[in-house]
Amino acid sequence: MIDGNQKTLKKELSLIKIYCLATGATLSSGFFLLPGIAAAQAGPAVSISYLIAALLLIPGVLSMAELATAMPRAGGMYYFLDRSLGPMFGTIGGIGTWLALVLKTAFALVGMGAYISLFVENLPIVEIACGLAIIFGSLNYFGTKKSGGFQVVLVTGLLVFLGSFMIYGLSEIHLEHFNDFWGAGFDSIFATTGLVYISYAGLTNIASVSEEVQNPEKNLPRGMLLALITAIVIYLVGTSVMVGVLAPDQLHHDLTPVATTARQLLGHWGAVALTVAAILAFFSVANAAILSSSRYPLAMSRDRLMPDFLKSVSKHGTPGYGILLTVVLVILCLLTFNPLKIAKLASAFQLVLFALTCIAVIIMRESRIESYDPGFKSPFYPWVQLLGIFAPVFLIVEMGLLPILFTLGLFAIGILWYYYYARGKVVRDGAIYHIFARLGEHRFEGLDNELRSILKEKGLRAEDPFEVTIARAAVIDLNRETSFAEIVKLASIEFEKRIEQVRSVAVLQEQFMRGTRLGATPVSNGVALPHLRMPELERQEMVIVRTKKRVRIPLENRESNSTGNGGVFALFFLISPEEDPAQHLRLLAEIASRVEHENFNNLWFAAADEQELKEIFHHDDLFISLVLKRGYNSGKMIDKEVRELDLPQGSLITIIYRKGQIFIPRGKTRLREHDRMTIIGEPKGIQQLREEFHQTLIVIG
């Protein structure tokens, strides 16, 4: 099997871990501190404020899930805004989100102290919070696997406590507490919605660690949506229990409303149990916030928006300096500021960030960059995004003048940092310039190249026909001196035999040559990937060329393909249907990834025939090669037609090598002794065949 080596953060976060990171970061201050403050403004309808906040958050969550599956990179919102709207907005989003998460972390640590102080008098809350910041920073430094595992334990315990609290509390609700449900008025309810919006901001944590997520195209949207659903249920039911159990004069402005409710329901030990739950929640949010916020300096440093030392990765695969700087800022906030008031204002900036995320999706889609290939696409585009843009503006206005000024202040900090530090160091633009290109302006090709490298890193999707395309490919093996033009002609002749739409070999040959001259053919380390897309084509077709004598590629812009100037020995011609450009690019990226393996050259030149050349590109768990011999298990296939074989579901015989000849079998093809055949299929089926025919398997390489 051929693999590429990427120098990235370790992928250690599974679905359960990212779900717990998002859930733990969401169920903290929003549940254990804010309900009393929110109820003082919205009255019994406080749960409606939480519901509206969640509904208005959905466009941002869907948009973030789309961007994260297309660009799973450390930095989350910063990275998305930078690559879509350009580095100035990336700087604003990166610094703003980083500072907001730092403030939220400090707020959570102080909140934890507030609950502990219910039972421990004269506790030095700030000193304890500083110590906890150092502990969480250490956990994150030694690896996201350890930190993520710790998060699973915390969130599991938290959900058990909260589930018990809500189930018992529902049976003790006083319905008269809900009289005059709408009495506070809709203006107060919407203003409260803006206040509690930060309760859901923990969902942004997932995007910032997307580079470390296993199978991000599936696990990222699943983790985010599951965490959002969990938060909605707990906030709606939990706040209803608090309103229904406590009288208004008990609930309003109470900073420990969950403990007060538990004391009313279960007495002293009930308050103790929910205080433990609160501590778990604040532990969880502090851990998750440090984990995610420390990735922002890393991502911005990679792009020269922050000093270079911040992009270094420790031997544990974590951004050590980013974690250290984040912890230092948290401690400075604890020692210098009152995090409670500032954390409320951070809600306003979170609203702006989610609106910008929706704009980013519109920019990326309308740019029509073919390498923008999200594994999850937001439904109801663009109406969902338009709602996600305008609703936050309305909420910020409802929140009053101070949140507006705070948001403008963070914008000003980001703009000043960009112009006075980063502008001269950055040589890239966002996807918005690809929209300008459609209007006659310039575009930034570096973004397309970057997205293509991400495609290579993400790998294939389950539906991508890579194995079948390789198995069906024509192979041209040359041992003589030749030219690139002659190879293109030979490949075009092979395509004419296979593709009905190819009316003229000369026209197809000119298309390949023109694309190569203009730099559209990737050329690197002795390998070239000429490629085209063709309308009305039903499936991908490929021609593989091996030449023992290196062939020089005629490029008009040699600087962009300098690694190909020494000539190539392997060429992979690919033609795909026009309607799915992303899949076409994923197949090219997979070939590029395989040929970068350090053992590729040895296997390539050592391959004895077409069959062995193709087997280099099959994943080890997706194919077997065996010989039919009497006296062995494989002998039972001899003299049978292919259609009569009882192969595992999804398995396919792709090539048969017989007496020096290679051919692709059909259903009526009868097998003979000493036939050597390649079978591809699903991992489970291939493993079954390995166990059954292990005596006659052939190992390549």
In this structure, the strands spanning 623-627 and 676-680 are: antiparallel
Residue 291 is predicted with a pLDDT of 72
Contact (CB, 8 A) for 242 and 40? no
Query: Model confidence over 199-221: pLDDT tens digits?
Result: 887 776 676 667 777 777 788 88
Give the domain 620-696 fold: Alpha-Beta Plaits (3.30.70)
Q: Supply the mean pLDDT for the chain.
A: 79
Residue 428 is predicted with a pLDDT of 52
Q: Please say if the pLDDT value at position 681 is more than 70.
A: yes
Burial class (CB in 10 A: 0-12, 13-18, 19+), 102: buried
Q: Which string of b and e fits 657-678 if b means at least 16 CB within 10 Å?
A: bbeeeeeebeeebebeeebbbb
**Which band of pLDDT confidence, cut at 50, 70 and 90, is reported for residue 51?**
very high
Residue 572 is predicted with a pLDDT of 93
Residue 561 is predicted with a pLDDT of 42
Q: What residues contact residue 526 under an 8 Å CB cut-off, 6+ apart?
A: 550, 564, 566, 567, 568, 569, 570, 601
DSSP H stretches of helix in 400-465: 401-417, 432-438, 445-458
Calpha distance 41→185 (Å, rounded): 9
Provide mean pLDDT across the span 22-51.
85
Q: Length of the chain in residues, anyone?
A: 701
Tell me the angle at which helices 87-116 and 295-302 cross, rounded to the nearest 10 degrees.
170
Residue 74 is predicted with a pLDDT of 64
Give the domain 459-615 fold: Mannitol-specific EII; Chain A (3.40.930)
Provide mean pLDDT across the span 382-387.
92
**Which band of pLDDT confidence, cut at 50, 70 and 90, is reported for residue 436?**
very low
Calpha distance 455→253 (Å, rounded): 50
Calpha distance 198→179 (Å, rounded): 28
**Which band of pLDDT confidence, cut at 50, 70 and 90, is reported for residue 7?**
very low
Looking at residue 4, its amino acid is G
Query: Model confidence over 235-256: pLDDT tens digits?
Result: 999 999 999 998 888 888 887 8
Provide mean pLDDT across the span 396-410.
79
Tell me the sheet residues that pair with 670: 641
Provide mean pLDDT across the span 179-196.
84
Picking from 489, 486, 551, 564, the residue whose alpha carbon sits closest to that of residue 519 is 564
Calpha distance 200→189 (Å, rounded): 17
Weakest-pLDDT range from 136-145, 315-324, 394-403, 427-436: 427-436
CATH of 15-424, one of 3.40.630.10, 1.20.1740.10, 3.30.70.3270, 2.40.50.100: 1.20.1740.10
Residue 346 is predicted with a pLDDT of 67
More confident call, 101 vs 189: 189
Picking from 214, 240, 197, the residue whose alpha carbon sits closest to that of residue 61 is 197
Provide mean pLDDT across the span 397-424.
81
Q: Which string of b and e fits 244-264 if b means at least 16 CB within 10 Å?
A: bbbeeeebbebbbbbbbbbbb
Q: Please say if the pLDDT value at position 466 is more than 60.
A: yes
Q: What residues contact residue 328 under an 8 Å CB cut-off, 6+ apart?
A: none
Calpha distance 188→199 (Å, rounded): 18
Domain map (residue ranges) of the chain: 15-424, 459-615, 620-696
Calpha distance 369→382 (Å, rounded): 17
Tell me the angle at which helices 87-116 and 77-85 cross, rounded to the nearest 10 degrees.
160
Model pTM score? 0.69
Query: Model confidence over 488-526: pLDDT tens digits?
Result: 999 999 998 888 888 788 889 998 988 888 777 888 888
Query: What three-state secondary structure class fits 364?
Result: helix
Query: Model confidence over 560-598: pLDDT tens digits?
Result: 444 445 689 999 999 999 888 888 888 888 888 888 877
Calpha distance 334→102 (Å, rounded): 10
Contact (CB, 8 A) for 20 and 236? no
Burial class (CB in 10 A: 0-12, 13-18, 19+), 33: buried
Query: Model confidence over 599-644: pLDDT tens digits?
Result: 788 888 888 888 788 888 876 677 788 888 888 888 888 988 888 8
Provide mean pLDDT across the span 650-664.
79
Tell me the sheet residues that pair with 641: 670
- Count of alpha carbons within 13 Å of 533, Cβ hemisphere only? 14
In this structure, the strands spanning 527-528 and 523-524 are: antiparallel
Query: What three-state secondary structure class fits 639?
Result: coil
Query: Model confidence over 136-169: pLDDT tens digits?
Result: 788 777 765 555 566 677 788 888 888 888 998 8
Calpha distance 98→294 (Å, rounded): 8
**Which band of pLDDT confidence, cut at 50, 70 and 90, is reported for residue 4?**
very low
